[in-house]
Structure 1
């Protein structure tokens, strides 16, 4: 209805403009909001007040001209000008039932809109370092990113889903030597594992697979490999110096080809596991973007050269620094260390330049909450290249805290470090995980109650919503068992008989669905959809418990069936955006 009213105002605006009542260069965005109380109408617009300044006319005078030029509409009973120039729409008594025909006609397309106007968005999410399996924090980012992508597409944006693979840099070197040492242990070599190496059991699995493929090709003398390393932290030394020296020793003794093979075996194994984990979670990407390819293509080097040519970097203490404080960051940032190594930030500068060089209108980065300080420096780098920093937006995702039996879980027995996404999915299932992750703003802390997520009760929000869908399907089953037929046209003709309070509440909620999709998409807030579905499910369950649908009166029966079928369609569509299934029986 909001879209239809906006179209009426657009036509009225053009009519007033044609008569010389408004300047030709005024192109306001027409906004329609729900009325605040029955005396203010069902919907209202502030269009006249938007036009007042450029038109140099009183807003009430403009409002009266627009109302006079409004085309008639079957569901608009009257239009009034109120206050300083609000345009209030009062709908006919049967306007609420119009949504049933809209849903019946549009099906899955109902609720979709063109708010995005075909603008292209690059959505990057998860992008966890390929150094281990995904944990429950990554799972929340995955569920949020996937839901946001679907939501943006429903609102008319063109979306590319992207995973940035951090497969270059120091953490990859630490991963490589961790696998190498476990590989040497596999063949009986006595080695001391570094204090900040990767210790999960998955490292042993990768090493065993490597040993099966290459045999003893990379077997080194463990004692010789670690003989002249500076002391580790547990030995009274510095763990960073120790691990860096270990990396250099491993590269030297294996040779570059051998070292690269070990590193690639580790990356391939972990990234393969991440891909499979996300796919099983219903999360898919259009592109997996490799940081290593970015570096090896020279893109990072070129970005730093361009910054240097623009006077945006300087050298100090042997390192190269970006003047990010010039653009609002709290301090300048290192892009190349004194040892010649580029930083992750340098790669991120080049990566974000690449995003916009590919022609995307905007980009959204979904980061973990610990990246809060990263936003200012990335935006600063865009501004240094003359790009509008507001083309890039961020959403920060807080960690999810798991509870079982009212007690907080500290760690996973398998990894010894964290609860993996796969462990969570195995326990509660994809649907519960996706819905629970989506229930709150990503910036809010999430207490994930495992017992609640597995329960089949009205207290479990995903079960409650899915059960509404299944209940509607059961009504259709009862219809067939009784040998009755559903005539949608007969139901449409009798739609005005849906006068019960519960029916009016459902109709109002169904009419809100397109507004929820548009508002949630523009705000980047999928939780609005989850909240709406809970409200819609509650309204349906109340209706189900209070009234009989399969009454003897065929007209009323068909009208009620039209109503609950429309409810089923909207529940299915909303759950689909969140990546949750809509079962027909439970």
Structure 2
């Protein structure tokens, strides 16, 4: 019996009990919460439903808990129910009921863990969006991993996710980048406000290779040549790096198009009609303080040029016009001000501010022997995506960046994540999958057929470690649901480490393949089914993180 099925059974039983006592059933929540108790001696699952609704129903919590325990005892799949404390219910499942979790995992296979919380919701997920003036730095790399994993998790819950990269090809940073390229092409030092690093010289050389006479062109034409070719080359490199990292985008949106298409002017007119902008000191201002911002924001400056927020408003309007119902922005640690700003923009356009969500990611530091690491050859002192991948590989890089909450800064120990030991979290999880794959191959080589899961007697899985592992597998749908709801894909990584731990403890305590046993017992088959279910859950979880599930290591 899965946790979801148990929760439904408890709720249906509560309806029966309250109805029989002529009490109001509307006090019951739509979904009953059942959780694994911290102390496994208390039972397989626990619920505080009686304490949650007793007062509303007009009875004492312990009385309601006692009635529920009596009604649940004897139900299919329930072994025993105990009342604890002021009204907790501790439930133990029958062995064959626990086996249903194994059956569900194997039957649903790659679909196990998926849900419908966001079925049909059109989500625009914008992440990375680094300026095309240099390689992806470590902060952008974190978003490349986390953003892609979040997209996978939301998709697993039924959302229609569009991954979008906002290409900042307008503004002062592009001019500085172009001037840096021209200086490098001339063999001159970078401008004081320009960009350094070997990559600038590399790209400048590529521009001259494509356009040998570029330096001989008039100044304005030369600037445009280096801009057109140089920015294109830099962005092509960024795209390739992200692709090799396992992160691909559906849309690359060009900031410049907002200005050339008239979208910024259209957004300003929409704000004027809404009455949420005003003219003062020669400039147009957004009344963003009315929507929780700390100050009103200039939209059009006194010289007639659009402020940066003008592009933000136009971009949000464009997303909404494309039909997106939820717009998630994943921004760096220095962008806290954008939360109120973007929500104010949504409200000023007549939207519910909830259509905008802003996730802020904290800094990432690489350490070795407890000391910060600076190892970039191409980008000066900035550590890049390529640097990290070269040092530890794609899987270790992605997993280590995803497994911590983005709300906190993270130190990545290069020595640790390079180790092929259980101290290394990604190795620990991947090794469990490889070990499980090897077990199935060994069984096949011995002529042991696992057969259809429907034919297996899973009620034989009564060992304590088997129960622990089965109940851990049963948590996967809830974990994926929570990861999507809270926008926290690190929950999947931490859960996989729990699965690997439960599996290793099971394997140490329960022999799966009997040496020299030509005739596999029913227990052998049941345990092979449990092992296959465990392998499937690990594979599904790693897939949500964009990390490979190796069959051999």
Q: What is the TM-score with the length of structure 1 in the denominator?
A: 0.83
Q: Shift of the alpha carbon at 1:91?
A: 3.2
Q: Aligned equivalents of 2:379 and 2:167: distance in 1? A: 22
Match of 2:487 in 1: 524
Give yes or no for the alignment of 1:136 onto 2:103.
Answer: no
CA distance in 2, matches of 1:48, 1:126: 45
Partner of 1:29 in structure 2? 30
- Give the Cα separation in 2 of the matches to 1:430 and 1:387: 40
- Corresponding residue pairs, total: 545
Which residue of 506, 514, 522 corresponds with 1:543?
506
Q: Which SS does the other structure have where 1:292 is aligned?
A: helix
Take 1:192 and 1:220, find their aligned partners in 2: how far apart are those partners?
20
Which residue is equivalent to 1:230?
A: none
Structure 2 counterpart of 1:158: 160
Structure 2 residue aligned with 1:235: none
Structure 1 position 395, deviation (Å): 1.5
Q: 1:203 to 1:99 in 2, by over 3 A?
A: same
Q: 1:211 aligns with which of 202, 208, 212?
A: 208
Aligned to 2:272: 308
Are residue 429 (structure 1) and residue 393 (structure 2) matched? Answer: yes
Q: Give matches, 1:127-526, under 5 Å.
A: 127-183=129-185, 185=186, 193-219=190-216, 253-255=219-221, 259-410=223-374, 412-489=376-453, 492-493=456-457, 495-526=458-489
Partner Cα distance (2:502, 2:64) in 1:
40
2:475 alignment partner, SS class: helix
Contact 1:491 1:562 in 2 (8 A): no
Residue of structure 1 in register with 2:4 after alignment = 3
1:11·1:71 contact (CA, 8 Å) conserved in 2?
no
CA apart distance, 1:52? 8.2
| More displaced 10-residue stretch of structure 1: 299-308 or 459-468 | 299-308
User: Offset at 1:143?
Assistant: 0.4
User: In the alignment, what sits opposite 1:573?
Assistant: 540
Matched position secondary structure for 2:456? helix
> Does 2:10 align with 1:44?
no
Task: For 1:59-78, list aligned pairs within 5 A.
Answer: 74-76=76-78
User: What stretches of structure 1 of length at least 5 have no aligned partner?
Assistant: 222-252
- Cα distance in 1 for residues equivalent to 2:30 and 2:464: 35
Distance 1:95 1:194 in 2: 71
Cα pair distance change 1:14/1:545, threshold 3 Å: closer
- Following TM superposition, by how much is the alpha carbon of 1:330 offset from its aligned partner in structure 2, in angstroms? 1.4
In structure 2, C-alpha distance between the alignment counterparts of 1:160 and 1:514, rounded to whole Å: 23
Instruction: Report Cα offsets for 1:311-359 as digits up to 9, x if no partner.
Output: 3333445443322222221122222333332222211111112222222
Residue deviations 1:288-326, cap 9 Å, x none?
111111221111111122223333333445443322222
Equivalence for 1:558: 525
Give distance in 1, aligned partners of 2:526 and 2:373.
Answer: 50
Stretch of structure 1 that moved more, 333-342 or 391-400: 333-342
Asked if the contact 2:95/2:460 (under 8 Å) is kept, the reply is no
Distance 1:545 1:66 in 2: 38
TM-score by length of 2: 0.88
Offset at 1:546? 3.4
Distance 1:315 1:171, change over 3 A: farther
> Does the 8 A contact of 1:52 with 1:62 survive in 2?
no
CA gap 1:490/1:357 in 2 versus in 1, 3 angstroms = closer
1:262 is displaced (CA, Å) by 2.6
CA distance in 1, matches of 2:257, 2:530: 54
Aligned-partner SS, 2:549: coil
Is 2:27–2:53's contact at 8 Å kept on the other side of the alignment? no
Query: 2: CA distance between counterparts of 1:388 and 1:62?
Result: 41
Aligned-partner SS, 2:285: strand
TM-fit CA distance, 1:374:
1.5
| Alpha-carbon contact 1:490-1:558 (below 8 Å) kept | no
RMSD: 3.3
